[in-house]
Amino acid sequence: MSLRRRCCIALGLLCFWAVLCTIQAQEASQGPHLFTNDTRTKDASQLTRTGARKTAVVSAVERVKAAVVNIHSERAAGSGPADAFAPPIPRKPMNGMGTGIIVDPRGYIVTNQHVVDDVTALRIRLGDGTSANAVVVARHPELDLAIIKIDTSAPLPVMPVGTASDLMVGETVIAVGNAYGYEHTVSVGVVSAIKRDVSLNDTMAYKSLIQTDASINPGNSGGPLVNINGELVGVNVAIRAGAQGIGFAIPVDHMIKSVADMLKARRRSTTYDGLATRDVLQPSSDGLVRKVTVDRVDASSPAQTAGLQSGDVILQVGDVKIASSIDVERGLLDRKPGDSVAFVIRRGDKEQNLKLALASGDRQVRPASASDIVWQRLGIQLSPVAGDSVKSINNQLNGGLEVTAINANAPAARAGIKKGDVLVGLHTWETVNVDNVNYVLNHPDLATFNPVPFFIVRGGQIRKGQLSVP
């Protein structure tokens, strides 16, 4: 090949290379080629779309879903005998479902009483997919609330608590629950009405409920109704059969008082503090803010010795930050007599640190006498029995009171109570000493649960009845 021909070929290749570079430069300036996978542009676009889709509802659900549990139950089918003292009738097992709300990291869960009524087994499925067996530890049948507990090896997330006192009709609310067995189902709606009185049948009636059109189905019972901030405002309880978009929830403020009372009753047999608290809702720029104050301090009690006074704002009990009276009970739960519990309070505009040494819950256990208020109002004398004598019947029982004498013309006898019965509970409170009975008889809300449900041990079985307290 001549030198001239080789030079022409080289010049041609150089020109073609220049053309290629020009084309690539133009394509780079004009954006991605039709067949180019520009992941950077796609990722940026995807981030923009995801950010726009993450609404307040999504954020609220993310905040609460880990504190919602799915409940699967087994119970005996059919109804019980009309006579509470008749022998039990054998029944076939059937499955049920419901939802629960975690209120304490140690595994305490709130649900509806009707979800756990007459169950023989409870299985809980947590938000992370793990399962555990549960036991019922307290009940409040009149409000249709109950507390169940699971054993857990690690602290569980707790539901953030708000208030229903400032709910607005038309406000967005979210229901989360085990609808028809579809776990962690989310539905969204609005508050349709507040303070609804609802009678579902002859035996089930509710007062001052929240009405919502957020879809609530069988299995949602006991689950949370939350606001757009991801705060609990109600406990889903019922639907109107045959209707669409008519569901009801118990206001969280009613739930808080009930659960605090049930937790206090659970520890009353073991520890005593002499402290009565009250939930207060304080207006702020962000709406109503919840706080807990000391309502009353018993004379010569551990609370008085610690220096607590009526009106103090409780900020912390042990390692529990206080947002409601439930938190106060959480801070004292599972403590033993003699334990010293740290309190942080605010008195006026100053914070103080106090130490409260818990006393024994059975400090005043004694047989009842004719002069006791129990004899005067109920017509029975009571004597404490050891916990071992009733634990064989139900291992959740901590003791009871044997009826040692009875007035045949008094309310207890008219209710069917007999000498030799062991009284183990009144309403939602266990009765391991006479002070427990007096507490119920002098309760400020007695009128709301009178006739008082009572539970006795007779013939190796727990029987239930109703006692009209004069």
Instruction: Specify the pLDDT at position 39.
Output: 47
If asked whether residues 178 and 248 sit together in one domain, one would say yes
Instruction: Specify the pLDDT at position 296.
Output: 87
| Section 6-13 average pLDDT | 48
Which of these three, 360, 383, 413, is where a domain ends?
A: 360
Q: Is residue 90 part of a domain?
A: yes
Q: What is the mean pLDDT of the chain?
A: 83
User: Residues 199, 205, 210, 215: is their CA dihedral positive or negative?
Assistant: negative
451: preceding bond cis by omega (within 30 degrees): yes
What CATH code is carried by the domain that includes residue 350?
Answer: 2.30.42.10
If asked whether residues 79 and 145 sit together in one domain, one would say yes
Residue 115 carries which DSSP code? Answer: H
Which of these three, 209, 229, 253, is where a domain ends?
A: 253
pLDDT band per the 50, 70, 90 thresholds, residue 407: confident
- pLDDT greater than 90 at residue 303: yes
CA distance 351 to 8: 94
| DSSP states along 309-345 | -TTPEEEEETTEEPSSHHHHHHHHTT--TT-EEEEEE
Q: Is residue 167 part of a domain?
A: no
Q: Using DSSP, state whether 77 is helix, strand or coil.
A: coil
If asked whether residues 277 and 335 sit together in one domain, one would say yes
Q: What percent of the chain has pLDDT over 70?
A: 82
Instruction: Specify the pLDDT at position 299.
Output: 84
Q: Which domain holds residue 200?
A: 172-253
Instruction: Specify the pLDDT at position 34.
Output: 37
Catalytic residue among 104, 140, 144, 325: 144
Q: Using DSSP, state whether 357 is helix, strand or coil.
A: strand
Q: Is residue 109 part of a domain?
A: yes
Tell me phi and psi for residue 264, to 5 degrees: -65, -40
Tens digits of residue pLDDT in 160-209: 999 999 999 999 999 999 988 888 999 999 999 999 998 876 667 788 99
Q: Is residue 15 part of a domain?
A: no
If asked whether residues 241 and 291 sit together in one domain, one would say no
pLDDT band per the 50, 70, 90 thresholds, residue 91: low
Which of these three, 320, 336, 360, is where a domain ends?
A: 360
Residue with token string 């029975």: 380
Instruction: Specify the pLDDT at position 202.
Output: 65
- pLDDT greater than 80 at residue 22: no
pLDDT band per the 50, 70, 90 thresholds, residue 50: low
If asked whether residues 394 and 461 sit together in one domain, one would say yes
Catalytic residue among 73, 187, 215, 221: 221
Q: Is residue 166 part of a domain?
A: no
| Section 54-59 average pLDDT | 93
What CATH code is carried by the domain that includes residue 143?
Answer: 2.40.10.10
Task: Fill in the amino acid letter for 443.
Answer: H
Say whether 221 is catalytic.
yes
112: nearest Cα among 124, 100, 127: 100
CB-CB neighbours of 390 under 10 Å: 20
Q: Is residue 68 part of a domain?
A: yes
If asked whether residues 231 and 282 sit together in one domain, one would say no
If asked whether residues 179 and 240 sit together in one domain, one would say yes
Name residue 470's beta-bridge partners. none
146: nearest Cα among 54, 235, 249: 235
CA distance 101 to 88: 32
Name residue 387's beta-bridge partners. none
**For the chain, what is the domain count?**
4
Instruction: Specify the pLDDT at position 105.
Output: 96
Catalytic residue among 72, 73, 114, 372: 114
If asked whether residues 66 and 130 sit together in one domain, one would say yes
pTM of the model: 0.67
110: nearest Cα among 324, 317, 336, 289: 324
CA distance 150 to 108: 7
| Section 295-323 average pLDDT | 93
Q: Is residue 231 part of a domain?
A: yes
Say whether 114 is catalytic.
yes
Say whether 144 is catalytic.
yes
If asked whether residues 220 and 293 sit together in one domain, one would say no
Residue with token string 């041609």: 12
- pLDDT greater than 60 at residue 402: yes
Q: Is residue 177 part of a domain?
A: yes
